[in-house]
Amino acid sequence: MPDRSDAPHRLDPTGADQHAANERLRARGPAVPVVLPGEVAAVAVTRYEELKEFLTHPDVAKNARHFTALREGAIPPGWPLTTIATVESMTTADGNDHRRLRGLVTQVLTPRRIEGLRPRVEELTTRLLHALGEAALDRETGTSGVVDLREHFALPLPMAVIGELLGVDSDLQEQLHQLSDLIVSTTTTPERVLAANRAMADVLGIVVARRRAAPGDDLTSALLAAQAEDGDRLTDRELVGTLLLMVIAGHETTLNLITNAVRALCTHPEQLALVRAGKADWGDVVEETLRYDSPVSFFPFRYPTCDLAVGDAVIPRGTPVLVSYTAAGRDERAYGPDASRFDVTRRPTVRHLSFGHGPHYCLGAALARLEATTALAALFDRYPDLALAVPDHDLPRHPSFVGNSTETLPVRLHP
């Protein structure tokens, strides 16, 4: 359907052509009416400066009790974005509730603990790179063929790391990934959304029961201990909500970051050459990928608690607002006329917003950076001739406008 400049923009649930659509959205203004699946009216904030201000605005809340259409019963059951909007966790909490829930996790996820994970991340990476080579092997000819790097490398690394941090035994990790994929997908049918939510609650219930019976040095055990000490600090629903948030936030995002970085380097070999020549390091690659192709796209939701002016637009109170990190990353007002170019030596004066900004700033940023830099350095060291196995424009999109990546990343490890 044509995107007439006065008509609300329909966010494509398949996530196709996100950057082209974002360019049109930014041109229309900093806050643009959009229509979500289920004909739900929302607004997207797309430009860097306005987004940064919006993320710290005192009249903007995250708790869904401010969502007028939801409160009035106008949101259909099984709406694909319900879980993300209503899960009882820090991501839907404001003020003291937010501080309480976030504090319980930051006590465990300390900078020291994250740095302490480095040897384990390196060990997992080495093991997975070996498995990647095995998966690429054509048993009949004995030669190396095509392998999906997303499935065999970009996914299992963050999934194993967050699984270990949360105390999720490895037999449940694959199931948790499948369910969290369904929850972040924006093309899932209402029946499947409801079934995925029930199944997710069941699996997390098993995780909680196992850690209650056999506590360990993990986040679930720490949350259970905090609850046992003082029941007011964490309800049962908040415990499960926090685990759900940590599972999704802790791996879907890093999975996209590693996938998007490998894709960008394969399609921009001159940028990889700059890294090899020492003109940029893997940290530069990670930061530029976060800006250029943000793993999180339209993040749901924030709600103005009064009619709120954003640029020349006014967002009515109670409207669900999506913040568009992919759109802000390529805003020419912030990054100049070549904002859409992947340039690992850019080192912009304006820091990307792809880990958020303000009180809800990503709790896992340091861990994500550790995982991605370790993974990319080791991958290109072990397979220096790694190349995409299909033309870039044929790569299927991951069906979501919340996440931003491809569904698969078929590569050849050797020429």
DSSP label of 40: E
Do 147 and 410 touch, CB atoms closer than 8 A? yes
Rounded CA separation 176/371 (Å): 20
For residues 379 and 129, what is the distance between their CA atoms, to the nearest angstrom? 7
Tell me the closest approach of the beta carbon of residue 90 to ligand HEM, in angstroms. 4
Question: Please, where are the H alpha helices in 268-364?
Answer: 269-276, 282-292, 325-329, 332-335
Instruction: Specify which residues 278 forms β-bridges with.
Output: none
Phi-psi group of 242: left, alpha or beta (phi > 0 → left; psi -120 to 50 → alpha; rest → beta): alpha
- Residue 415 tokens read as 């020429």
Total residues contacting ligand HEM (rule CB under 6 A)? 25
Locate 246 and state its tokens.
């940590």
> Looking at beta carbons only, is 339 or 402 nearer to ligand HEM?
402
- In angstroms, the CA 202 to CA 218 distance is 20
Figure out which of the listed residues 29, 80, 241, 295 binds ligand HEM, where binding follows CB under 6 A. Answer: 295
Asked if 254 touches ligand HEM (CB under 6 A), the answer is yes
In the complex, least distance from residue 102 CB atom to ligand HEM, rounded to whole angstroms: 5
CB closer to ligand HEM, 203 vs 402: 402
Report the b/e string of 149-178 with b at 16+ CB within 10 A: bbbbbbbbbbbbbbbbbbbbeeeebeebbe
Of the pair 193, 375, the CB lying nearest ligand HEM is at: 375
Name the residue nearer to ligand HEM (CB basis): 32 or 296.
296
CB of 77 to ligand HEM, least distance (A): 25
Residue 4 — φ and ψ, nearest 5°?
A: -60, 140
User: Within 329-368, which residues bind ligand HEM (CB under 6 A)?
Assistant: 354-356, 360, 362-364, 367-368
Task: Considering the complex, state which of residue 18 and residue 413 has its C-beta at the smaller distance from ligand HEM.
Answer: 18
Q: Which residue has the tokens 């912030």?
A: 334
Q: How near is the Cβ of 68 to ligand HEM at its closest, in Å?
A: 20
Query: Of 42, 147, 323, 370, which one interacts with ligand HEM (CB under 6 A)?
Result: 323
For residue 246, state whether it binds ligand HEM (rule: CB under 6 A).
yes
Q: How far is the CB of 181 from ligand HEM (least distance, A)?
A: 16
Q: CB-wise, 117 or 182, nearer to ligand HEM?
A: 117
- Is residue 300 at the binding interface for ligand HEM, with CB under 6 A as the rule? no
Q: Does residue 299 belong to the site contacting ligand HEM (CB under 6 A)?
A: yes
Could you say which of 102, 152, 211, 346 contacts ligand HEM (CB under 6 A)?
A: 102
Question: Residue 279 to residues 202, 266, 377: CA-CA distances in angstroms?
Answer: 49, 18, 15
- Write each residue from 376 to 405 as x if it is in contact with ligand HEM (CB under 6 A), else as -, in one continuous string: ------------------------------
Residue 297 in the binding site for ligand HEM (CB under 6 A): no
Could you give the CA distance from residue 197 to residue 200 in angstroms, rounded to a whole number? 5
Residue 296 binds ligand HEM (CB under 6 A)? yes
Minimal CB distance residue for ligand HEM: 364
Shortest distance in whole angstroms from residue 358 CB to ligand HEM: 8
* By the rule CB under 6 A, 375 interacts with ligand HEM: no
Query: What are the backbone angles phi and psi of residue 137, rounded to the nearest 5°?
Result: -70, 125
φ, ψ for residue 411, nearest 5 deg: -130, 165
Sequential DSSP letters for 53-83: HHHT-TTEE-SGGG-HHHHTT-SPTT-TTHH
* Least Å from the CB of residue 115 to ligand HEM: 14
Q: Does 84 bind ligand HEM (CB under 6 A)?
A: no
Does position 30 interact with ligand HEM (CB under 6 A)? The reply is no
* φ, ψ of residue 35 in degrees (nearest 5): -115, 130
Q: How far is the CB of 138 from ligand HEM (least distance, A)?
A: 33
Q: Rule CB under 6 A: which residues touch ligand HEM?
A: 90-91, 102, 162, 245-246, 249-250, 253-254, 257, 295-296, 299, 323, 325, 354-356, 360, 362-364, 367-368
